[in-house]
Amino acid sequence: MPKVEAYCSEGIGLCGKQNECEQRCHASHGPGSQGSCDYTINPPLCTCYYDCPGPPPPPKMCNGGGGLCTITCKDQCCRDRCATKFNQGRGYCDNSAGPWLCQCQYPC
């Protein structure tokens, strides 16, 4: 799948002197940005085009234990334990390793 480039734009006022639009654009959004004057309108206005910031990467997830799951403490109980024990913790009961364990996941 081809990568789609996303550009943002911001109006940054009148064009001013030669290269002033470009300089203000670089000052606001860095060297990869580009200022462009629209001389078809009066007064000419400067627009800055720059790469849109992407979404932040998902947080790294850590694993922890929430004790044993039992007939009386199943998935909801495990979720409650993990939420109490770890900040933004989520839990589930897992018996793939033998005993029925409450597995917690939380942002590191």
pLDDT computed for residue 17 by the predictor:
85
pTM of the complete model: 0.49
pLDDT computed for residue 5 by the predictor:
60
Residue 6 pLDDT exceeds 80: no
Q: What is the largest CA-CA distance in the chain?
A: 76
d(CA 22, CA 102): 57
Compute CA distances 2 → 5, 50, 53, 54, whole Å: 9, 20, 19, 16
Residue 4 pLDDT exceeds 70: no
What is the CA 36 to chain-centroid distance, rounded?
A: 29
In the sheet that holds 61-68, the strands lie side by side as: 61-68, 101-107, 90-94
Q: What is the pLDDT of residues 33-73, one digit of tens each?
A: 999 999 999 999 999 999 988 787 888 999 999 999 999 99
In the 8-state DSSP scheme, what is residue 72?
Answer: S
